[in-house]
Chains A and B, each alone.
Chain A
Amino acid sequence: MTATVDKGRSPALKGRWAAMPKQVRWAAIAALIVLLYILPNRWFYEYLGFPIGSEYFAFYTTRSDFAGVLFDTAVFVLLAVGLNVVVGFAGLLDLGYFGFYALGAYTVALLTSPESRLGTNWPWLAAVPIAVMVAMISGVILGGPTLRLRGDYLAIVTLGFAEMIRLYAARNEGVLQGQRGIPAIPHPPGTGSDGKPLFGVVDARPYYWLLLTLILLVIVLVRNLANSRVGRAWVATREDEDAAEVMGVPTFKYKLWAFAIGAAVAGLTGAVFAGKQTFINSDQFVLESSILVLAAVILGGAGNIKGAIVGGAITWYLPEWLRGVGDLVGVEFDAAEYRILVFGLVIIVMMIFRPQGIVPNRRRAAEFADRRQEAVPQEKVPSE
């Protein structure tokens, strides 16, 4: 049995990309980023000559506001990039990622909303760092006892954590105001050129741009971390924790770091979400979403930031887009209803046939192939 190491989709394409002059590559990346910023603008499509609002659906979602969909997709991408640090880099399974997201959102809501019973009335911007810190600290509190033991306990503890946060938010009629939730969360600050506030209720574009900027920032940070001493420690821990420990890597410390960084990114995302939504309650933080983010990371390719981006875009954007396509074909088809089912199946199938994901991290793909090769003898018992 020959285990083939899958090195990306096509080595030729990758090689050609790497062979291009640095300036060309930078220009291409810059062009892509600019395109991402223009994407939600209507005039862009009108300029290109696409008849908006008619039958056209190349990648426009016809059923829901496109900028809104882009914002939600960006939320998922940022979450996937954060979770990728935990699952992909450090190899820890965090099933309650949305719990930290909820913490971030609630922290902002409590601190800023005039309806909040804390009565602090902070501006949105001041509450964001607090939200990130709260998420990070709760990650340390949760990860501390669990990560010292086996990693697999972390999975169930985080699973419980996310659900407990949601249940608590739903039941607590005091500060968190139960199912009614917390309304009147202020928007991010800023005034547009026309004198109106930059971040309003109707237009989702500024929020998308804000999130896109944050995504780029987080990506730069995470990339640098992954390429540093910390990143190497993560890889070593993921591949063989005992060996890493023997080699002098303080595995517990780095695992906790990965977990806390992941939690902080989720808290940040939650804070932005609260700023856009202006109203949050416990129903927005269902457990299924945690699983969707996990599916995004796995599907895209854990350990690869590009993979996380691709995965995040697929898990959120694709079902929305399919709804529009269904309309066009004349089928009433709510892809969102089947989302969890489909992505659950996708996770199972991927783990068996392509555990490295769509855009694999080369190193991780090699790990899988390695283990596969080691597996063969003991399972080939003739009686099977």
Chain B
Amino acid sequence: MNFDELLGNFPALTITGLEQGAIYALVALGYTLVYGVLRLINFAHSEVFMVGTFTALWTWEALGYDQNSPSPALGPLILALVAGLVVAAVASAATAVTVELVAYRPLRRRNAPPLAFLITAIGASFVLAESFGIGTERAPFGMPTLIPAETAFTVFGAAVTNIQLLILGVTLVMMIGLDQFVNRSRLGRGIRAVAQDADTAALMGVNKNRVILLVFVLGGLMAGVAALLWNVRYGYTKFNVGFLIGLKAFAAAVLGGIGNLRGALLGGLLLGVAENYAAGLFGGDWKDFTGFVLLIVLLMFRPTGLLGESLGRARA
């Protein structure tokens, strides 16, 4: 136990935690949306994120950046970021949709038991991870440094970098956008209706399958954005990069209340911060355990999460 480390670096740990938590939150949205509508833990979502990191990298490579190229000027930089974002988001969404169409929809048509969905989900996850693993020879890939980390300003002696600002900013924008979409738009109403009661919603004229597809698309888009932010911040990817992120994102979703969009944001940020405090307190080796321990403790004492579950009641 190293309290000096924790207290001495408290602001810095908090900021790093928020930044990592933002990425968890974006991935957690995918779990929460699918869970809210289908009551299914979509294990393949971690691989949806992984596909995003790779496609963004390939986009940058196609644009002529490699690990050694100098950071571009503002114009090309924005172009590269936007191109990477669009490609990653689209590829992630396409992956999520493919999994839904190939794996889950046939099961729904057969009214398979929940266990069958879970088993299929884990199968899909491993198929995706392994095909990338075999395709990339299980090697880690470095990214071009598009944005050199610079200190934007300091709070309580902790430096806040431009990358951290970017991550938090993008996450907030995406979150608010998604929240508004689900709560205000016609399609969002459909999502909430199916989440509340799928059969009744179908009787009221909501196309259930279309709503489910939409949920996978939205989750995939968010995972793609998270993947881009990951690339910018951490600068590497690997075929199994999604595993830990996925596990933590799921823990974050449960922490906030699975099925609850705002809960996903809260849970993600809290988890990120808690993880960094734990790393300060117990040493970096323990960082990855925090999310898991938190998940088990939470299941014992407050299984519905901090903000409560149910996407159907996500208005509050």
Contact = CB atoms under 8 A, between A and B. Distances in A.
A112 B113 CA distance: 44
B308 to A, nearest CB: 15
B165 interface: no
Contact of B123 (A156, A347, A367): A347
Question: Which applies to chain A's interface (DSSP): helix, strand, loop or mixed?
Answer: helix
A291 B126 contact: yes
B114 interface: yes
A293 B131 CA distance: 20
A168 interface: yes
Given A146-B299, A351-B107, A378-B199, A95 B127 contact: no
B300 A145 contact: yes
Given A340-B126, A347-B119, A155 B41 contact: yes
B100 to A, nearest CB: 12
B5 interface: no
Q: Report, as a range, how many residues of chain A touch the other chain.
A: 35 or more
Contact of A95 (B102, B122, B202): B122
A298 B116 CA distance: 10
B120 A341 contact: no
Nearest to B303: A149
Contact of A371 (B106, B110, B126, B130): B110
Interface string A368-384: 10011011001101011
A356 to B, nearest CB: 10
A154 to B, nearest CB: 9
B103 interface: yes
B299 A149 contact: yes
A168 B286 CA distance: 8
Interface stretch (A128-136, A157-165, A205-213): A157-165
Contacts of A295: 123
Interface stretch (B62-70, B152-160, B287-295): B287-295
A152 B123 contact: no
A91 B126 contact: no
A152 B202 contact: no
Interface in A323-377: 337-338, 340-341, 344-348, 351-352, 355, 367-368, 371-372, 374-375
Interface in B84-133: 102-103, 106-116, 118-120, 122-127, 130-131
B122 A160 contact: no
Contacts of A151: 114-115
Contact of B243 (A91, A163, A337): A163
A14 interface: no
Contact of A340 (B130, B208, B296): B130
Question: Which applies to chain B's interface (DSSP): helix, strand, loop or mixed?
Answer: helix
Q: Report, as a range, how many residues of chain B touch the other chain.
A: 35 or more
B120 A160 contact: no
A341 B119 contact: no
Contacts of B209: 384
Contacts of A102: none
A5 to B, nearest CB: 14
B123 A351 contact: yes
Contacts of B40: 152
A294 interface: yes
A93 interface: yes
A112 to B, nearest CB: 26
A371 B113 contact: yes
Contacts of A355: 112, 116
Contacts of A252: none
Contacts of A153: 41, 254, 299, 303
A348 to B, nearest CB: 5
Given A156-B247, A352-B106, A344 B299 contact: no
A2 B244 CA distance: 44
Contacts of A184: none
B123 A344 contact: yes
Interface of B: 39-41, 43, 102-103, 106-116, 118-120, 122-127, 130-131, 134, 199, 202, 207-209, 243-244, 247, 250-251, 254, 285, 288-289, 292, 295-296, 299-300, 303
Which 6 residue pairs of A and B lie closest in terms of their CB atoms, listed nearest first?
A: A375-B111, A347-B123, A344-B127, A344-B126, A341-B130, A145-B300
